[in-house]
Amino acid sequence: MNLSTHRAEPIAKALPLIEVEGLGRYFGALSAVRDVSFTLNRGDILGFLGPNGAGKSTTMQMLTGNLAPSAGRVRVAGIDLRRHPKAAKAHIGYLPEVPPLYRDAGVDEFLRFCAGLHGLRGKAVVSAVDRAKQRCGLEKVGRRLIGNLSKGFQQRVGIAQAIVHEPEVVILDEPTVGLDPIQIIEIRALIAELGRAHGVIVSTHILPEVQALCNRVQIIRRGELVFSAHTDDLVATRESRLRVRFVQPGNGDALAALPGVLDVKAEGDRWVLRIDGNAGEVAEAVAVLAQEGGWGLRELTPEWVTLEQLFVDLTVHEAPPT
C-alpha cells in the first residue's frame, strides 16, 4: 500500500507510465537485482516471470518506492521516484504478495481509510470507494469484516485498495497464489479489465497466468532480465527445434555445421537441433546429410519451443554460478 497523500496529475497518453533504467539492488555482497531496464505503457499487461528467489519481489518493491535501489533510476509518469517519491507514488497502486489487509475492519471502512491515505476527502472518498467496489465485485460485502471473507474476496479487497485512488500504474505481486481455480479465473478477469485503462505489472512464477493475461512477458533469472518480448511476437521470435533419429548413430558435428542450426544435443538415440532459421530448410538439409552419410533417417520431428520450455531453458538449464 502506498501511504502517499499527494494527488496525481494526469499523464499525457503518449508518455510511458514507467521507465526503468539500470535498476540494481545489493544486500551486502549479494546482488539481488542488477541492470534491469524496461518501460510500461498504458494498456500493457506485463508478465514479470521468474522462479522463486529470482528477484521479482525485490524489483516490485523498488518500483513502488518501498525499497531504495542501490543503482539505477525509476521514473513514474516522467517523475523520478527517488527525488519526488510522493508525486511518483500517487500514480501507483500496489498489491504485495501478502495483501495489506486489516482483518478486523469492514470492507467499506478499510477502503475509506485507504482512500484517505491517498489524499481523498469528503464526497470524493465515497465515490472512489463505490467505484473500486464495483470494479472488484465487492458491492455485496461492504459491511462484512475482511477476516470473515474467503481468500478470493480478500484478494479482491487487496486489489480494490490498490486502485481506489485511480492510479495509472497497478503492480500486482503474485495475485492468484493460494486461490482455488474459480477464484483464479475471477481475479484474472479483473486484471484483464484493469489492463484496458491502466498499465499493469503482474509478478508471478505461474506460466498460465502470463499466457492468459499478458501482452508482454519478461523473464528474470538471478536478478537479471534474460528475456523480453511481446506475446504476439513470441511465436515469430522464439526458436524451433528438430528431433532427429537415424538408423546409424550420425554425427553431431556435421549436424551442428548446417546453416540455421544453433547447437546440437544428444538425447538417448536422438539428436535435438536448436534452430534459428527456417525449420523446413534445415529439415531438408538434415535429410540430405543423412542420405549422403548413409545414416538412414528414422525420425525427423519439428517442434516449437513453448513459453514453458523457454522459461525452463532460461531459468533451470543455466550454468552454475561462478
Q: What is the CATH number of the domain that holds 292?
A: 3.30.70.100
- Would you state the pLDDT for residue 241? 82
CATH classification at residue 206: 3.40.50.300
Final residue of a structural domain among 234, 253, 278: 234
- Would you state the pLDDT for residue 2? 47
Question: Do residues 254 and 141 both lie within one domain?
Answer: no
Whether the CB-CB separation of 212 and 188 falls below 8 Å is answered with yes
Final residue of a structural domain among 177, 210, 234: 234
- Would you state the pLDDT for residue 150? 93
Calpha distance 205→307 (Å, rounded): 12
- Would you state the pLDDT for residue 118? 92
Question: Do residues 207 and 254 both lie within one domain?
Answer: no
**Helices vs. strands in the chain: H and E counts, helices first:** 11, 14
pLDDT tens sequence across 84-103:
999 999 999 999 988 889 99
pLDDT tens sequence across 97-130:
888 899 999 999 999 999 999 999 999 999 999 9
- Would you state the pLDDT for residue 11? 55
- Would you state the pLDDT for residue 320? 43
pTM of this prediction? 0.75
Strands 18-27 and 71-76: antiparallel
Question: Do residues 264 and 122 both lie within one domain?
Answer: no
Question: Do residues 148 and 171 both lie within one domain?
Answer: yes
pLDDT tens sequence across 11-68:
555 689 999 999 999 999 899 999 999 999 999 999 999 888 899 989 999 999 999 9
What count of residues does the chain have?
A: 322
Final residue of a structural domain among 181, 211, 234: 234
Question: Do residues 149 and 225 both lie within one domain?
Answer: yes
Query: Average of pLDDT values for 249-268?
Result: 91
Question: Do residues 175 and 256 both lie within one domain?
Answer: no
Q: Tell me: pLDDT of 302 over 90.
A: no
- Does residue 9 fall inside a structural domain? no
Question: Do residues 168 and 222 both lie within one domain?
Answer: yes
- Would you state the pLDDT for residue 101? 94
170: domain range?
18-234
Buried b / exposed e over 79-114, threshold 16 CB at 10 Å, is bebeeebbbbbbbbbbbbeebebeeebbbbbbbbbb
- Does residue 310 fall inside a structural domain? no
- Does residue 318 fall inside a structural domain? no
Name the least confident of 85-94, 100-109, 147-156, 201-210: 201-210
Calpha distance 313→94 (Å, rounded): 30
Calpha distance 38→269 (Å, rounded): 43
DSSP, residue by residue, 146-197: GGGS-HHHHHHHHHHHHHTT--SEEEEESTTTT--HHHHHHHHHHHHHHTTT
Residue 210 vs residues 24, 48, 87, 119, 176: alpha-carbon distances, Å:
24, 8, 30, 33, 12
- Does residue 297 fall inside a structural domain? yes
DSSP, residue by residue, 80-106: ETTTSHHHHHTTEEEE-SS----TTSB
Question: Do residues 158 and 91 both lie within one domain?
Answer: yes
Alpha helices for the chain (secondary structure H)? 56-63, 85-89, 107-117, 123-136, 151-163, 181-194, 207-213, 231-237, 252-256, 279-293, 307-315
Percent of the chain with pLDDT over 90: 62
Residue 18 vs residues 21, 25, 63, 151: alpha-carbon distances, Å:
10, 18, 9, 30
Unique residue bearing C-alpha cell 484493469: 194
Q: How many domains does the chain divide into?
A: 2
Question: Do residues 73 and 207 both lie within one domain?
Answer: yes
- Does residue 173 fall inside a structural domain? yes
Question: Do residues 83 and 192 both lie within one domain?
Answer: yes
